[in-house]
């Protein structure tokens, strides 16, 4: 339980920090009477006298109030909320959208693994989300035969049944926002839980009173690399490699 709480806390921190970063995508804009527009950060202001502003290239300019038509704070051009970026990504990864991806692939011990991915686009390049995967397999431990006068000869087999759950919570970066081909990388906290239980077939032999069970878990870091290919608005093919899968494929739905 403590691992789930830790993952939840980390995921919540990522979301809060990411959401806070949006409110900072603003800049000061001076509209001069000669028609020029200066964008940057106001570093010094003397009321009714002058204003100093620092531009992106580090230059600092000073203007007298009589040269200024007006000044204001505006969203940075190309940021999450501008019209330019709102038009971006009709077919691809775009901001403020949810993405859900059912998947199937190849996992630990050569087994088929099933999973589900949830992601929220906090900008046109960055997302936060969580991936989950489940797989199960069995392994024969040993078998032997036994004979008794009541039932005759019986062949007993002991198998171990395993199940594995993996989770990955963290950030993603998308290289081609708004494009049909959407390669991405993911990194974050990883968690796994593995269970095993022994089973006798056709039944437990006489004299065996203990059937072992085991459970193990761990937490660390993990990552993925993959791509989406959007065939239409809100629908894509998804291919990924990395924790909690070795390799997987599926579809992605955008909401």
pLDDT tens across 115-167, in order?
999 999 998 899 999 999 998 888 766 676 666 656 666 777 878 888 889 89
DSSP 187-199: EEEEEEEEEEEEE
Residues 106 and 41 in one domain: no
pLDDT-derived band of residue 247, with 50, 70 and 90 as boundaries?
confident
Within the chain, residue ranges assigned H as helices are 2-22, 83-86
Q: Cis before residue 244, ω within 30 degrees of 0? A: yes
Say whether both 203 and 108 belong to one domain: yes
Query: Is the domain of 65 the same as that of 146?
Result: no
135 and 210 together in one domain: yes
Does 16 have pLDDT greater than 50?
no
In a domain, residue 82? The reply is no
pLDDT for 213 equals: 74
pLDDT, one tens digit per residue, over 208-240 is 666 667 778 888 888 999 999 998 878 899 999
Per the model's pLDDT, the better-predicted residue between 7 and 42 turns out to be: 42
Quote the CA–CA distance of 25 and 81 in Å, as a whole number: 9
Nearest-angstrom CA–CA distance, 250 and 255: 17
Same domain, yes or no: 33 and 17: no
CA angle 125, 242, 4 (to 5 degrees): 85
What's the pLDDT score for residue 186?
Answer: 94
Place of tokens 């403020």: 96
Q: Please tell me whether residues 33 and 144 are part of one structural domain.
A: no
Number of domains in the chain: 2
Indicate if 234 and 150 belong to the same structural domain.
yes
Q: In terms of domains, do 204 and 97 share one?
A: yes
Tally of residues, the chain: 255
pLDDT at 227: 94
Is residue 190 exposed (0-12), middle (13-18) or buried (19+ Cβ within 10 Å)?
buried
16, part of any domain: yes
Looking at residue 15, its pLDDT comes to: 46
pLDDT the model gives residue 178? 82
> What CATH number should be reported for the domain holding residue 218?
2.40.160.20
Same domain, 125 and 168: yes
Q: Is residue 179 part of a domain?
A: yes
Query: What is the residue range of 51's domain?
Result: 29-75
Burial classification of residue 84, based on how many CB atoms lie within 10 Å of its CB (0-12 exposed, 13-18 middle, 19 or more buried): exposed
- CA atoms of 243 and 219, how far apart (whole Å): 12
Residue 229 counted as domain residue: yes
* Contact between residue 71 and residue 31 where contact means Cβ atoms under 8 Å apart: yes
Task: Specify whether 46 is located in the same domain as 131.
Answer: no
Regarding whether 38 and 20 lie in a shared domain, the answer is no
Residues 64 and 110 in one domain: no
Q: Per-residue pLDDT for 87 more than 90?
A: no
Other Cβ atoms closer than 10 A to 57: 6
Q: What is the pLDDT of residue 215?
A: 76
Distance CA 38, CA 52 (A): 11
């Amino acid at each position: 339980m403590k691992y789930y709480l830790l993952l939840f806390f980390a995921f919540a921190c990522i979301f809060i920090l990411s959401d806070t970063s949006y409110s900072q995508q603003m800049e000061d804009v001076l509209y001069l009477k000669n028609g020029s527009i200066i964008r940057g950060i106001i570093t010094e202001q003397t009321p009714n006298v002058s204003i100093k502003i620092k531009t992106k290239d580090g230059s600092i300019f000073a203007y007298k109030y009589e040269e200024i038509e007006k000044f204001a704070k505006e969203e940075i051009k190309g940021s999450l909320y501008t019209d330019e970026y709102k038009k971006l990504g009709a077919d691809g990864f775009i901001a403020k959208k949810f993405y859900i991806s059912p998947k199937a692939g190849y996992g630990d011990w050569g087994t088929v693994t099933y999973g589900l991915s949830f992601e929220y686009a906090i900008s046109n390049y960055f997302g936060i989300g969580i991936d989950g995967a489940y797989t199960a397999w069995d392994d024969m431990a040993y078998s032997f035969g036994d004979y008794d006068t009541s039932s005759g000869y019986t062949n007993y087999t002991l198998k171990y049944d395993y199940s594995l759950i993996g989770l990955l919570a963290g950030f993603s970066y998308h290289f081609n926002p708004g494009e049909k081909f959407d390669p991405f990388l993911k990194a974050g906290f990883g968690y796994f839980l593995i269970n095993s239980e022994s089973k006798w077939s056709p039944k437990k032999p006489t004299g065996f009173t203990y059937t072992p069970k085991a459970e193990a878990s761990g937490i660390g870091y993990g990552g993925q690399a993959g791509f989406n290919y959007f065939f239409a608005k809100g629908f894509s093919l998804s291919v990924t490699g990395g924790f909690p899968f070795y390799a997987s494929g599926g579809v992605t739905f955008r909401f």
